[in-house]
A and B are shown apart, each in its own frame.
Chain A
Amino acid sequence: MSERLLEVKDLSIEIATRRGPATIVDGIDLHVDKGETLGIVGESGCGKSLTMLSLVRLLPNKIRVSNGTAAFAGRDLLQLSSRELREVRGGKIGFVFQDPMTSLNPVMKIGEQLIEPLLYHREMSKAEARKRAGELLRLVGIPGAEQRLDSYPHELSGGMRQRVMIAIGLACEPELLIADEPTTALDVTIQAQIVDLVKDLRKRLGMSVVWITHDLALIAGLADRICVLYAGTVVEDAPVEQLFAEPAHPYTRGLLASIPRMDGEDAERLNSIGGTPPEPGRRPAGCPFAPRCPMAQEICRTTVPELQPLRGETTPHRVACHVANRVLEAA
């Protein structure tokens, strides 16, 4: 078994509301091995981004971690001093954010933004850092890299900016790159380029990647393993082939069924999952998906299912569903 880089255990996040704290993320367990790419999938508001932001304590105001641990290379990220935390941010864990249009400082040249983490984490001289910044831009495939150092963000296209964001995230050669829906704001051809770029970089730099997305089709070609999140819990966690071959949670099935296909017979009508996820603070007593689940039983409404291996202890395929076996039979 390969080495664990990140192990999140029983992580809960809550938001302060007028009616008291409401749970957004409810006891998430997930892990990332060295060199592995983990895809985190789920619909908007299911806690994907918050979980990752909480690791480096970048949660917005009024949202806080209420429980759990996050061991990164043997240390609990949630217990670090602010000094140690700054070492981890950017130095050990790199971030790439969703919207390249607003995630770059509009009044700073690209080069300066690239140099900043190098000066801070690597204690390079300005000249060295600038040289390295040029190399980084070339690494992420920006033509005329050295000249682009003196460009402002608004002079670059969305795809170029996202490449710059990736270059900044990679600047200090982090062990883990967290990409939070990095292609959502880009058009499809650019999406494919960015995915290829990250695949290529991962191979060359040997880092681990966590890729947050709601696009199953996109992540299929990129991830080694996929975690499906629903309403702040992990509902299914499986190697990518197994997840697509035999999805065991009704929610995962729903997600897969709602990918638009051009080849199928009923190409006109798009499948969707009826209803909406529960609001934080109004979580159902049992399985959070039960109110929308076509296969829900009595037990689903009363007891929260545990995340368990699907068949025996040895499989890496884990699912949190009381009726998982019946789901598989029905397929």
Chain B
Amino acid sequence: MTAQPAIAPLAAADDATVSLWRDAWTRLSRNKLAVASLAVIAILALVAIFGPWLTPYDFLSQDLEARNLSPNWAHPFGTDELGRDVFSRVIYGTRTAFVVAIVVTGIAATLGVVLGAVAGYFGGLIDRFVMWCTDTTMSVPQLLLVVVINASLKPPLVNFMEAQYELTRNPFFRNSIIVDFVLVFGSMALILWPPYARLIRAQVLSIRNRPYVTAARALGLSTPIIISRYVIPNSIGPLIVAISAGLGNAMVLESAFSFLGVGVNPPIPSWGNMISDGLQVWRNHAHLLAAPAIVLGLATVAFSFLGDGLNDALNPKGSK
């Protein structure tokens, strides 16, 4: 009688459809730090999505009677030197941070995966060329590259938009925010893709000689199918980890560029330019620096801990 319960779970585990992903999820959910990080990210994401319904004030409305207020019940994070509600601005900054992080990481990772996979699978001259591109990009200081791109591409882009507006009278072309975002997305993606390409290339190099890839070739499948269905899905574990850490990294970078004035320009709230503004008056009004800095710190830490957690969860051999 007593032996039966011991046997039952074994049989059940054998029959249950435990997919690789569910397996990873189980391991991830046992990691408290990763779960907490996931919760923080989820809250921030919800804040970003539902921002307009959460903000108590318009992020642009100024109340010159109530400038530089410390946190209080009416303004949880206080107000800035123009009397704008910092809480509302941090919420909108979250939207900026998420949009930039997701779009930039998306572009950079896609570019990196395609180029890295092609380089790794075919090798030879293609490989050398792609690796030469990554080396060249990575050897130039990131900030310098972004500043150069912004400075050199902004005027022509603005002129182009102006010309299009004259031509079509479409108010879309009058929107300076579009120019800002296009430049930020483009320049950041350009400096962030090489690590993804290197990662995927290394993965592909080890996977392209696995027996199942030979087996797929022996079935007469075409190279694009083999790369997209056999090689890339099997190299994706480390990529997910890199993307998770990369999202946090992109947020920091965006803030850094805004801080330096080459990122998103006022009046669009960005944590970076809020920190930049707050830094000038932090001795008297510390909350102006603290509010965006703490949220930025929280987001970055959450993304990197989630990345660590995913790394362990997707690598059953790694820990445990």
Which residues of A does B touch, CB under 8 Å?
A: 56, 58, 60, 85-91, 95, 97-99, 102-108, 116-117, 120-121, 150-152, 154-155, 165, 168
Contact = CB atoms under 8 A, between A and B. Distances in A.
Interface string B183-222: 0000000000000000000000000011110111111111
Interface stretch (B96-104, B108-116, B229-237, B267-275): B229-237
Contacts of B136: none
Contact of A99 (B211, B218, B219): B211
A58 B217 contact: yes
Interface in B217-265: 217-222, 225, 229-230, 233-234
Contact of A89 (B18, B209, B220): B220
B167 interface: no
Contact of B222 (A98, A103, A120, A155): A120
Interface of B: 17-20, 209-212, 214-222, 225, 229-230, 233-234
Which of the listed residues B209, B214, B216, B218 has the most CB atoms from chain A within 10 Å of its own CB?
A: B218
Given A56-B218, A89-B220, A120-B220, 13 more contacts: A86-B222, A89-B219, A95-B219, A99-B211, A103-B211, A103-B212, A105-B212, A105-B229, A116-B225, A117-B220, A117-B221, A152-B19, A168-B219
A104 B212 contact: yes
A97 B222 CA distance: 19
B234 A152 contact: no
Which of the listed residues B216, B220, B222 has the most CB atoms from chain A within 10 Å of its own CB?
A: B220
Contact of B220 (A91, A104, A106): A91
25 contacts: A86-B221, A86-B222, A87-B220, A89-B220, A90-B218, A90-B220, A90-B221, A95-B215, A95-B219, A102-B210, A103-B212, A103-B215, A104-B215, A105-B212, A105-B216, A107-B233, A108-B230, A116-B216, A117-B219, A120-B219, A120-B222, A152-B17, A152-B20, A165-B215, A168-B215
A151 B212 contact: no
A103 B220 CA distance: 15
A37 B225 CA distance: 32
Contacts of B17: 150-152, 155
B212 A102 contact: yes
B219 A116 contact: yes
A121 B218 CA distance: 12
A154 B14 CA distance: 10
Contacts of A105: 212, 216, 229-230, 233-234
Question: Across chains A and B, which 9 residue pairs bring their CB atoms closest together, nearest first?
Answer: A89-B220, A90-B219, A90-B220, A95-B218, A86-B220, A103-B211, A102-B211, A107-B233, A117-B219
B67 to A, nearest CB: 57
Nearest to A87: B220
A156 B19 CA distance: 12
Contact of A116 (B19, B210, B214, B221): B221
A108 B222 contact: no
A152 B212 CA distance: 14
Secondary structure type dominating chain B contacts: helix
A151 B217 CA distance: 22
A298 to B, nearest CB: 44
B222 A107 contact: no
Contacts of B209: 60
Nearest to A89: B220
Contact of A107 (B218, B219, B234): B234
A151 B18 CA distance: 9
Nearest to A116: B221
A190 to B, nearest CB: 17
A50 to B, nearest CB: 12
A155 B22 CA distance: 13
A22 to B, nearest CB: 21
B32 to A, nearest CB: 28
Contacts of A103: 211-212, 214-215
Nearest to A151: B17
B229 A89 contact: no
Contacts of B229: 105, 108, 116
B217 A121 contact: no
Contacts of B230: 105, 108
Nearest to B217: A58
A119 to B, nearest CB: 9
Nearest to A121: B220
Contacts of B222: 86, 120
Contacts of B210: 102
Contacts of B212: 102-106
A151 B20 CA distance: 11
A98 B211 CA distance: 9
Contacts of A97: 211, 214-215, 218
Contacts of B19: 152
B240 to A, nearest CB: 13
A243 to B, nearest CB: 29
A98 B219 CA distance: 15
A85 B218 CA distance: 10
Contacts of A117: 219-221
Nearest to B210: A102
